[in-house]
Every structure is written in structure tokens, then in C-alpha cells.
Amino acid sequence: MARMKFLCDSDRCIECNACVTACKNEHEVPWGINRRRVVTIGDGKPGERSISMACMHCTDAPCAAVCPVACFYGTEDGLVLHDKDLCIGCGYCFYACPFGAPQYPRVGNFGGRGKMDKCTYCAGGPQQDNSAVEYMQYGSNRIAEGKLPLCAEMCSTKALLAGDGEIIASIYKERVQQRGYGSGAWGWRTAYKEELPA
């Protein structure tokens, strides 16, 4: 099976936040939680660049390593998903995650964390695919329908790429070759222990 990854070409990202909006809308993500966000480095200065970031579905995922109740599981596509019925909202995955992907509703005792929510790569959770209960907990399951994540699908500049890691890496390499520059694949070194040429 393919190893699914995200890649954000920061030389193309125009910080329009369409991916953020698409994600919120597709999964009806609650107020206060952002599964995807756009971070602008050096905002307003020459050389500023924006990167759309969500869960990178890491190889040897740190979140899964530290979870005290071991509620994470991997899929055939290399995705890192979690079971909200098992999560206790301790926050450890957020401490360990290099990308700040895990988010929590503030519903626990004393304003503490509720069950963790993060990007599912539009692949839902352990419930029956595309069932109502899966939608309520994790949002829609586009992967089960044979579709790619909506954020990347509707990126107007095709800065955000989703799909098989090798294919999107080759698309990116081709772009770099053609235009003669590129700042690399953000997060790839940290998430996949792999770098793409700049």
C-alpha cells in the first residue's frame, strides 16, 4: 500500500487559509479547534513564507509512543489515527508532537482537556467507515470513498500536496528543478527522517 504524506510547498503557499476552512467545514470541527493551520514565518519581512501544517502522520509517531492508554493505531496507508473512546485527554501527545497537531476541547474537570482531536487525513477513526457515529467523532472519511484529503484537493495554488509520499515528492522535485529553487519539504525531516532537495 501507499505511504500517505503531506507536503507543503512554501514557495507556492499564499496564506489564503482555504485549506483551514475546507477542513473545518468538511469535518465540522468544533469552535476553538484547528486541525490544520497556516503559519507564516517572518510575517511582513522579505523572504516571509507560509506553511500549511496539520498532523504529518509521522513515521515512528511520538504521540503514539507517549500515550498512556495507547489509543493510537496505524493504518495500511501509514496514517496515524486514534480512538477517541480510549483517549483520556491527558495532553501527552500534544507535548510530544513536533507539529502541535493534537487539539483539545476545554471540557475536562477544571477547564482541563477533553478527548483529543487531530487531523485524520480525512480517514475517520476506528468506527464503521462513513457511519454517523464516525462522522460525529472524527468527521468525514474521504479515504474510504477513494478521495484524498480535502485541504490538499482544494488548494488553489497546489502548494499543499497529499497522497503517496513518493509521488508527491517527485512532483515537488520536478517543480524545484523547473523553477530553480525551493525551500524544501517542511517537517519531512522531523516527521519522516527524510529531506527533499532545495
From ligand SF4, other proteins, none, interface partner of 151 (C-beta below 5 to 8 A by class)? none
Place of cell 485524520: 120
Residue 165 found at the interface with other proteins (CB under 8 A): no
Is residue 176 a contact point for other proteins (CB under 8 A)? no
Which grid coordinates are listed for 177?
A: 528543478
- Cα gap 174→129, rounded to integer Å: 35
Non-local (6+) Cβ contacts of 25 within 8 A are none
97 is a site residue for ligand SF4 (CB under 6 A): yes
By CB under 8 A, residue 53 contacts other proteins: yes
Site residues (CB under 6 A) for ligand SF4, limited to 161-190: none
Q: Which is nearer to ligand SF4, 102 or 176 (CB)?
A: 102
Q: Residues 21 to 50: which contact ligand SF4 by CB under 6 A?
A: none
Q: Using CB under 6 A, list all residues that contact ligand SF4.
A: 55-58, 61-63, 66-69, 71, 80, 82, 87-93, 97, 99, 101-102, 116, 118, 191
Site residues (vs other proteins, CB under 8 A): 10, 15, 17, 20, 32, 34, 37-43, 46-51, 53, 62, 65-71, 85-88, 90-92, 94-100, 104, 106, 109-113, 179-181, 183-190, 195-196, 198
